């Protein structure tokens, strides 16, 4: 009798794990696009640091990301059960924050461009502020990923909890593992240059030469990703009817281009521009007071 009960328990565990695996795979597919944006945004945060501080920065942000997810996973499960109506407003706040940050980066770029003829003062890389900023941005992106994942999960509370925890761990390891690899490409290139093989030396030269362009691309991609994700959150949660209309346009690739890229980026930029304007107006009012 005890042996039969043990077999039943093992069968239940096996079934639960199978369900969790299927749900985790489905949730991973749904959140893959935002993971790419998360990668671009976080890789961009290391730009400007010294070579010996790149991996420590990535490690600290990764730890902060795990703390974010340790907060977000139970919070998302509780909110979905107790106050599901709160999820959309919280997402909208996160979308506004990403749009604000994206526009700030764009304006900062043009400000530096307009003052390029003046003598340049060396910019100080503030590691603590960069890490804090990266963890804040990660919190918003992680919220979006976890909420999307939660939306496609079904089954018992235990199954959904395990699936969300797996998604959170895989997401963190995957994103920050790739970020760590990207920021050390130049060091890998220098290591290859010391090898006797001509092929290794050629690959090393390519790695070293490509690194400035990779970092420049990541800076641009990270800013665009902020606007795209921020605008996408606002579009799909605040203007759902518009998003639905765009998604059903023909041909399908045009609908995808509009609903996933062009409109979210434009909406994120407009929303961010308004928020930046309000923020600076508030600062002027407080300074005058």
| Angle CA 207–213–218, to nearest 5 | 110
Rounded Cα distance, 168 and 163, in Å: 9
Q: Contact at 8 Å (CB) between 23 and 155?
A: yes
Q: 3-class secondary structure for 198-246?
A: HHHHHHHHHHHHHHHHHHHHHHHHHHHHHHHHHHHHHHHHHCHHHHHHH
pLDDT at 197: 84
Contacts with 135 (C-beta within 8 Å, 6 or more apart), sequence order? 61, 64, 65, 67, 68
pLDDT at 249 over 50: yes
* SS3 call for 100: helix
Q: Please tell me what DSSP assigns to residue 84.
A: G
Q: Contact at 8 Å (CB) between 79 and 160?
A: no
pTM, to two decimals: 0.70
Percent of the chain at pLDDT exceeding 70:
75
Angle between helices 127-152 and 157-183 (to 10 degrees): 140
For 208-244, write each residue's pLDDT tens digit: 888 888 877 877 877 888 888 888 888 888 888 888 8
Q: Contact at 8 Å (CB) between 235 and 275?
A: no
pLDDT at 8 over 50: no
* SS3 call for 251: coil
pLDDT at 274: 93
Q: Contact at 8 Å (CB) between 192 and 200?
A: yes
For 170-217, write each residue's pLDDT tens digit: 888 887 888 888 878 888 888 888 888 888 888 888 888 888 888 778
- Other CB atoms within 10 Å distance of the CB of residue 27: 25
Rounded Cα distance, 155 and 18, in Å: 12
If you write DSSP's letter for every residue of 59-73 in order, what string do you get? HHHHHHHHHHHHHHH
Q: Measured in whole angstroms, how far is the alpha carbon of residue 220 from the centre of its chain?
A: 14
pLDDT band at 12 (very low <50, low <70, confident <90, very high): very low
């Amino acid at each position: 009798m005890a042996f039969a009960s043990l077999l039943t328990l093992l069968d239940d565990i096996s079934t639960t794990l199978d369900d969790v695996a299927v749900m985790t795979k489905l949730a991973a597919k749904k959140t893959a696009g935002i993971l790419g944006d998360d990668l671009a945004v976080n890789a961009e945060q290391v730009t400007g640091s010294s070579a010996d501080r790149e991996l420590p920065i990535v490690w600290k942000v990764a730890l902060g990301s795990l703390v974010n997810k340790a907060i977000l996973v139970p919070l998302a499960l509780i909110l979905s059960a107790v106050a599901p109506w709160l999820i959309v407003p919280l997402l909208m706040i996160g979308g506004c924050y990403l749009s604000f940050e994206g526009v700030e980066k764009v304006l900062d770029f043009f400000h530096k461009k307009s003052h390029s003829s003046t003598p340049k003062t060396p910019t100080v890389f503030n590691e603590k502020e960069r890490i804090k900023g990266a963890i804040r941005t990660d919190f918003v992106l992680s919220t979006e990923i976890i909420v999307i994942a939660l939306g496609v999960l079904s089954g018992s509370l235990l199954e959904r909890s395990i699936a969300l925890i797996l998604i959170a761990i895989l997401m963190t390891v995957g994103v920050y593992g790739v970020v760590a690899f990207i920021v050390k490409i130049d060091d890998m290139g220098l290591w290859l240059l010391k090898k006797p093989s001509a092929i290794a030396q050629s690959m090393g030269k390519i790695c070293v030469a490509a690194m400035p362009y990779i970092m420049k691309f990541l800076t641009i991609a990270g800013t665009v990703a902020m606007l795209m994700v921020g605008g996408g959150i606002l579009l799909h949660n605040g203007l759902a009817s518009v998003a639905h209309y765009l998604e059903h346009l023909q041909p399908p690739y045009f609908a995808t281009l509009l609903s996933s890229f062009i409109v979210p980026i434009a909406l994120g930029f407009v929303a961010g521009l308004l928020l930046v304007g309000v923020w600076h107006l508030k600062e002027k009012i407080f300074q005058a007071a």
